[in-house]
Amino acid sequence: MKRKISVILSLVFLILLFWAQWNWKHLSSFPSIISSFYSKEYCSCYFVMELSEEQCHDFARQWVPISEFKLDKENLSVTVKGLGRTNTAKFQSKEYGCTLLNE
Amino acid sequence: MKHILILFFVLFTYQCGKDLSPFGGEVNVTPLPKRLKPEWPNPEWKVVTPESVGVSSAKLKLVDEYAFTRTGDDTDRKGRRTDAVVILRNGKLIYEKYARNFKQDKVHITWSVSKSILQTMYGIAVKDGLIKLDDPGYYHYEPLSRDEAHKKITIRHLLNMSSGLTAEEGYESGPLKSSVIAMLYTRGRQDMGSFCANLPLRSEPGTHVYYSSCDTNILSAILKKVYGKEEYDKLPFEKIFKPLGISNVTFERDGSGTYVGSSYLYLTARDLAKIGYLYLNDGIWNGERYLPEGWSSFTRTPAPGYKTTPYSEDLAEDNYTAHWYANTGVPERGIHEPWPDAPKDTFAALGHWGQMMYVIPSLDLIVVRFGDDREKAFIKNDFLKLIKESVIR
């Protein structure tokens, strides 16, 4: 019985490994989505649409919670950390709004 | 084993032989009614009572109730969450209301409504003779010349959302493989046009309609090459917004300075209505023609690729045209009008989370609605039905 379970578990693990390798392109960039989405959409909500801080958190919030957040009113930027990745969006001007800075 | 094979066979052949043309006939795009006396906003709309232009205030209250009755609070982000509604009849403003801290002078994200304004930029480029609808994209944009298949993608295919590129438009539903999420936030954000042009093809260009933000951002990148960076930077502001009296506007760009035409244009509700009014007047503003003759018909005709697009249940949700939506249905394909209770000539610019702008030529109406709906609680057909019923003459 024990042997059967370990064979099944190894099989599942192998399939998972293959799947991960097959989808590596998507998987490797996935963790960055949380912080880049939050920082970009918060930046635009606050500096472009000029809504309140509370409303902008509600606007940018996702299912996965973030771990760090910094709204820099002086430098017109928003930095967010989530799933171990950090991203910053910066307000450029009234015409061009916010852009994510390069990773 | 035999049973499994049979099951697979049945699943694969399920869609074959389905009757796709129960209604028959061609798509019928009626010409725009002749407009005798447009009321140009110079620069603002004239405000009048609904009754003075044949609309019932009492019936408009039902529209108000539908749009602004909240069914959930902001923490759960549920229900209809309307931020703004603006209604115009005969070029005059008859209804305007804002909620959730939005005001007349605050810009709102329009998400995919931006695509329809990028289409306006194309109308201008075509009128200026800089681009032709049937030009292959690679004539103007090198990344589309990666192989013979990609070279077949034309400007018209891209405007009709029929490039054939293997994009995945899933948003919250499937973030892992969504190319729109990767384009906006991760692998594509530095240069969205090039990220999208490098996707492989899944079908012959022009044959399948697949709604894709990638098609729009390739179009945006093409315009940058056509105009050159300096002129492109000013293009929407100088050629569209300024002539229409729109000064409070933001158009965000990707890491390489290309307008994110798929998603990131911010306008006030009153100003978005001006774009609708330009199309209602067949591309003419203040007596001057801005969009080429025939552009409005092109805008209101469902994408030809619908005729050969494989059947799916969500095909009938909206009839995509050339970066706009129409209420014509695609009878040849068995696709009904998406908003059966609205006039058949209604056409629209629509965006994520409930952004919408309708143009109804037969009733001389423009309707703008902004919101932040995170679930499908705002039913477009119900909203349009109430608006139609408020017109008394």
Q: Is B177 on the interface with A (CB under 8 A)?
A: yes
DSSP secondary structure of B46-58: EE--GGGGTB-HH
DSSP conformation class of A2:
H
Asked whether A82 and A38 are in contact (CB, 8 A), the reply is: yes
Q: Which range has the worst mean pLDDT, A33-37, B4-8, B134-138, B161-165?
A: B4-8
The band of A75, judged by pLDDT with boundaries at 50, 70 and 90, is: very high
In degrees, rounded to 5, the angle at the alpha carbon of residue B8 between the alpha carbons of residues B7 and B12 is 120
Q: Which residues of A touch B260 (CB under 8 A)?
A: none
The band of B22, judged by pLDDT with boundaries at 50, 70 and 90, is: very low
Question: Domain B115-227 sits in which CATH superfamily?
Answer: DD-peptidase/beta-lactamase superfamily (3.40.710.10)
> Looking at residues B367-372, what average pLDDT do you find?
97
Contact B108 A98 (CB under 8 A): no
Arithmetic mean of pLDDT over chain B? 91
> Looking at residues B4-13, what average pLDDT do you find?
47
Q: Is pLDDT of B237 > 90? A: yes
In degrees, rounded to 5, the angle at the alpha carbon of residue B139 between the alpha carbons of residues B135 and B144 is 100
The confidence score (pLDDT) of residue A37 equals 96
Indicate the residue of A29, A51, A99 with minimum beta-carbon distance to B186: A29
Q: Which residues of A touch B106 (CB under 8 A)?
A: 49-50
Q: Which range has the worst mean pLDDT, A13-17, B103-107, B157-161, B191-195?
A: A13-17
Asked whether B319 and B328 are in contact (CB, 8 A), the reply is: yes
- Residue written as tokens 């697949």? B210
- Residue written as tokens 């589309």? B144
Distance between CA atoms of residues B300 and B31, nearest Å: 10
Residue A24's CB: how many other CB atoms inside 10 A? 10
Do B22-106+268-393 and B115-227 show the same overall fold? yes
Indicate the residue of B77, B175, B189 with minimum beta-carbon distance to A100: B189
Indicate the residue of B177, B253, B264 with minimum beta-carbon distance to A26: B177
What would the pLDDT profile of B325-348 be if each residue is shown by its tens digit?
999 988 877 888 999 999 999 999
CA dihedral B273, B278, B281, B282 (to 10 degrees): -130
Given the candidates 3.30.420, 3.30.70, 3.40.710, 3.30.1180, the CATH classification of the domain at B22-106+268-393 is: 3.40.710
Cα B316 to Cα B55, B159, B297, B325, B328, distances in angstroms: 31, 19, 21, 12, 11
Q: Is B234 on the interface with A (CB under 8 A)?
A: no
- Determine the residue among B70, B98, B103, B186 to mutate to test chain A binding: the one whose Cβ has the most chain A Cβ atoms within 10 Å: B186
The residue in chain A having the minimum alpha-carbon distance to the alpha carbon of residue B177 is A26
> Looking at residues B49-68, what average pLDDT do you find?
98
Indicate the residue of A23, A40, A48 with minimum beta-carbon distance to B250: A48
The residue in chain B having the minimum alpha-carbon distance to the alpha carbon of residue A93 is B250
Nearest in space to B191 (alpha carbons), one of B224, B161, B231 = B224
Asked whether B265 and B117 are in contact (CB, 8 A), the reply is: yes
Tokens of B4: 């499994």
Rounded to a whole number of angstroms, the distance from the CA of B295 to the nearest CA of chain A is 27
Count of CA atoms in the C-beta half-sphere (13 A) of A30: 14
Q: Which range has the worst mean pLDDT, A72-86, B9-23, B40-54, B291-305?
A: B9-23
Say how many CB pairs under 8 Å bridge A and B: 75
- Residue written as tokens 């292959």? B136
List Cβ neighbours of A101 (8 Å cut-off, separation of 6 or more): A77, A87, A88, A89, A90
Q: Which residues of A touch B184 (CB under 8 A)?
A: 40
Distance between CA atoms of residues A91 and A73, nearest Å: 10
Asked whether A86 and A35 are in contact (CB, 8 A), the reply is: yes
The band of B11, judged by pLDDT with boundaries at 50, 70 and 90, is: very low
DSSP conformation class of B244:
T
Peptide bond into B43 cis (omega under 30): yes
Q: Phi, psi (5° rounding) for residue B284?
A: -105, 140
Percent of chain B past pLDDT 70, that is, above it, reads 92
Q: What are the beta bridge partners of residue B109?
A: B266
Q: Is A86 on the interface with B (CB under 8 A)?
A: no
What would the pLDDT profile of B239-272 be if each residue is shown by its tens digit?
999 999 999 999 999 999 999 999 999 999 999 9
- Residue written as tokens 């013979």? B148
Interface predicted TM-score (ipTM) of this complex, two decimals: 0.91
Cite the DSSP H helix spans in B15-154. 57-68, 113-127, 148-151
Distance between CA atoms of residues B168 and B301, nearest Å: 24
Cα B194 to Cα B20, B38, B125, B142, B143, distances in angstroms: 36, 42, 21, 9, 6
Tokens of B120: 């306006």
Residue B18's CB: how many other CB atoms inside 10 A? 8
The confidence score (pLDDT) of residue B386 equals 98
Residue ranges covered by each domain of chain B: 22-106+268-393, 115-227
Distance spanning both ends of chain A, measured CA to CA: 49
Asked whether B288 and A80 are in contact (CB, 8 A), the reply is: no
The confidence score (pLDDT) of residue B174 equals 65
> Looking at residues B130-156, what average pLDDT do you find?
97
Percent of chain B past pLDDT 90, that is, above it, reads 78
Q: Is B264 on the interface with A (CB under 8 A)?
A: yes
What would the pLDDT profile of A15-59 be if each residue is shown by its tens digit?
877 766 667 667 677 889 999 999 999 999 999 999 999 999 999
The residue in chain B having the minimum alpha-carbon distance to the alpha carbon of residue A50 is B106
Indicate the residue of B181, B184, B252 with minimum beta-carbon distance to A96: B252
Indicate the residue of A29, A45, A58 with minimum beta-carbon distance to B182: A29
Asked whether B203 and B161 are in contact (CB, 8 A), the reply is: no
Rounded to a whole number of angstroms, the distance from the CA of A15 to the nearest CA of chain B is 18
Rounded to a whole number of angstroms, the distance from the CA of A23 to the nearest CA of chain B is 9
What would the pLDDT profile of B374-392 be if each residue is shown by its tens digit?
988 999 999 999 999 999 9
- Determine the residue among B176, B237, B250, B260 to mutate to test chain A binding: the one whose Cβ has the most chain A Cβ atoms within 10 Å: B250
Q: Which residues of A touch B253 (CB under 8 A)?
A: 96, 99
Q: Which residues of B touch A102 (CB under 8 A)?
A: 190, 255
Q: Is B255 on the interface with A (CB under 8 A)?
A: yes
Asked whether B106 and A94 are in contact (CB, 8 A), the reply is: no
The residue in chain B having the minimum alpha-carbon distance to the alpha carbon of residue A57 is B75
